[in-house]
Structure 1
Amino acid sequence: MGELVTDRRRLWSLGPAPRNEQAGPEVLAHVLSELARELHHVDDPDDVLREAVDAAMDLVPGTRAGSVTEVADSHRVVHKAESGELPAQVDALMSEVGEGPCLDALRHRRIVRVEDMRRETRWPRFAPRAAELGALSMLAFPLFVKDDSLCALNLYAHEAGAFTDESEHVGRLLAAQAAVAYSGAQRAENLLAALETRDLIGQAVGLLMERYSITAGRSFETLVRFSRQTNRKLRDVAAELVRNAEAGAHR
């Protein structure tokens, strides 16, 4: 991860790009293509999001802080990645009052831009307190693949008018790449979990077959019945059976 950040900063100089500094399209295309390759090789979905925040701080003009959040229970904001104290405070505020740029970005699946939080009227409960925290400018990008909303990439600046059309353009490209990489990492993680679950259940079925001299079908039915009776997931029941068998073998 550190090598990727270093490579980007070698192209863009140290720190975020100044607001009036625009990179040529060839440089931007090169950096974003390299970022896409790096994200493709990140296995942990949360690491993908942390990479996206780091990249946004380096590449999106005006950005001074960033976070990735998802929405639970229609309005509660859940942190997935953040760059520091300001994003954590502002995202917590959005969760508390149930309104703000991040929530609108996900609900309406569009980019939300705030020029000056002190003059913002769209979120009367959120905007004044966000301005007091020091987030005078914000950009929120929905991260989604096709119709599946995933998270929102939120960018912050301490000064008003920090984000430009160039900021939106770069951020949109970055958000699209991050969404695809995050979705892919989630699918891979879910597949791995499914394979592990299958192996655990297979081990548990084998143990029951050996212990009670019953068929594989009867063993599986026994696991399912016990899972329902105890209101526990089948995977947890199988895992406990395997752990107990292993513990008994070591006595």
Structure 2
Amino acid sequence: MDDWRGFAQQMASLARDLLAQESLNDTLERITTAATELVADCDAAGILVLRGNRVQSLAPTHQVVVDSDELQGRVGEGPCFDAARTSAGERQFRIADFTDEAERWPKYVPEARKLHLGSMMGFLLFTEDEDLGALNLYSYRPGAFTDTDETAGWLLASHAAVAFSSARTHAQMQEAIGTRHTIGEAMGILMGRHRLTEDQAFAALRRYSQDHNVKLREVAAQVCARGGLPRAGE
């Protein structure tokens, strides 16, 4: 990347754009799309989240990203695993040529070649408080990514991690507000229908939740939709 001033301007514009997205999914999709726009020779990008040994692909720009993530989950190894696992200690990696990495990931690399992958980079998305996943950039051409591209990817990942964390926190807050509103509405319905006190109405919701192994917010939503607690068998 020769025009660093132009890149800096693009990154500044992206930072504002990321904060303006309306949802977590929109934010993640903007991050991966930006990777294909801002990093030379990046043909596809995605975010991999590791839950134990279960792989989740977020905002993939192309099917090959999902295929690569699923492959790593199936064989239990791969570069994205290394980047996403906090115990690995690596915050970024670069595979210059997939044909040279069979010894490092003997199960993943031979199958990855069948996906026509030539090279890739990965960056751990992290803040001071948490690790969020890994941003992975793919190219079909071996030797596609340079040291300059790696620096650009690292800068993008730094912005992306902050935006990811902020968007997720906002989504969690919105969900909590919505849940609290739904539970309050359900309690009001039970109080009016059965002449219960506020404490009694909440106890009824909680008891149904425990007896039927249903989350409290789901019980509340059913009460709001039905006008009362569901009957046995419903």
Task: Give the letter for the 1:34 counterpart.
Answer: S
CA positional deviation for 1:186: 1.0
Cα deviation 1:167-215 (Å, max 9, x = unaligned): 1111011111111111111111111111111111111111121122221
CA positional deviation for 1:109: 4.3
Alignment partner, residue 45 of structure 1: 24
2:173 is equivalent to residue 191 of structure 1: yes
Give the match's secondary structure for 2:114. helix
2:222 is equivalent to residue 234 of structure 1: no
2:116 is equivalent to residue 134 of structure 1: yes
Task: Give the letter for the 1:146 counterpart.
Answer: E
2:78 is equivalent to residue 97 of structure 1: no
2:58 is equivalent to residue 58 of structure 1: no
Q: Which runs of 5+ in 1 are unaligned?
A: 1-21, 247-251
| TM-score for both structures, normalised by structure 1 | 0.84
* C-alpha contact 1:90 1:135 (8 A) present in aligned 2: no
Task: Give the letter for the 1:152 counterpart.
Answer: A
Structure 1 vs Structure 2: percent identity of aligned residues?
Answer: 38
Q: CA RMSD in A?
A: 1.5
Q: Which runs of 5+ in 2 are unaligned?
A: 229-234
CA distance in 2, matches of 1:201, 1:101: 44
* C-alpha contact 2:48 2:84 (8 A) present in aligned 1: no
Task: Give the letter for the 2:223 counterpart.
Answer: L
* C-alpha contact 1:137 1:160 (8 A) present in aligned 2: yes
Report the count of equivalent residues.
224
CA positional deviation for 1:115: 1.1
CA distance in 2, matches of 1:232, 1:66: 37
Alignment partner, residue 145 of structure 1: 127
CA positional deviation for 1:56: 0.8
Cα deviation 1:83-131 (Å, max 9, x = unaligned): 2232222222111111111110111341011011111121111112212
Give the match's secondary structure for 2:121. strand
| TM-score for both structures, normalised by structure 2 | 0.90
2:11 is equivalent to residue 32 of structure 1: yes
* C-alpha contact 2:49 2:134 (8 A) present in aligned 1: yes
